[in-house]
């Protein structure tokens, strides 16, 4: 797929824009990862990462980027004994996860609409 896309992008002044829009459109069908509290979700098969084929997986980036990453860092630190346990009930952690999921989905939707608008303008200008 990637080879086919690279051939489609071309080498003109719009090639990078085409690449970004088409890559975004092809990645949309992929299932979006969701934050959840393991103490709430009892089905451990939901913890696995399909693409990496690992049974237990957690994801986080630098805690300066997203609040969900701050929580994950704090929970991992506590579980490894590097810090004291955080004083949040699992239901409160799940509420925070739900809120972060809602915001992430809203952000993704705005990004998709922006790409759709750009693509429509691109097609109109090229027609």
16-28 pLDDT, tens digit each:
887 777 777 776 6
Cβ atoms within 10 A of the Cβ of 56, count? 9
The pLDDT of residue 84 is 93
CA-to-CA distance for 56 and 53, rounded, in angstroms?
9
- Between 113 and 52, name the one with better pLDDT: 113
Is residue 106 pLDDT above 90, yes or no?
yes
70: part of which helix (H) or strand (E)?
A: helix 67-79
- 45-80 per-position pLDDT tens digit: 777 776 778 888 777 777 677 888 888 888 889 989
Mean pLDDT of 27-48: 75
The pLDDT of residue 2 is 67
Q: 21: closest CA among 122, 127, 126?
A: 122
The pLDDT of residue 27 is 66
CA-to-CA distance for 30 and 28, rounded, in angstroms?
5
């Amino acid at each position: 797929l990637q080879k086919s896309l690279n051939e489609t992008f071309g080498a003109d002044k719009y090639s990078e824009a085409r690449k970004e829009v088409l890559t975004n459109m092809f990645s949309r069908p992929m299932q979006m990862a969701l934050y959840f509290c393991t103490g709430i979700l009892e089905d451990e098969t939901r913890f696995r990462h399909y693409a990496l084929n690992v049974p237990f997986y957690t994801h986080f980036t630098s805690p300066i980027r997203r609040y969900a990453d701050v929580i994950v860092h704090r929970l991992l630190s506590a579980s490894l004994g590097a810090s004291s346990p955080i004083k949040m009930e699992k239901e409160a952690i799940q509420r925070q996860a739900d809120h972060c999921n809602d915001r992430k989905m809203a952000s993704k939707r705005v990004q998709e609409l922006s790409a759709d608008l750009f693509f429509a303008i691109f097609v109109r200008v090229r027609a």
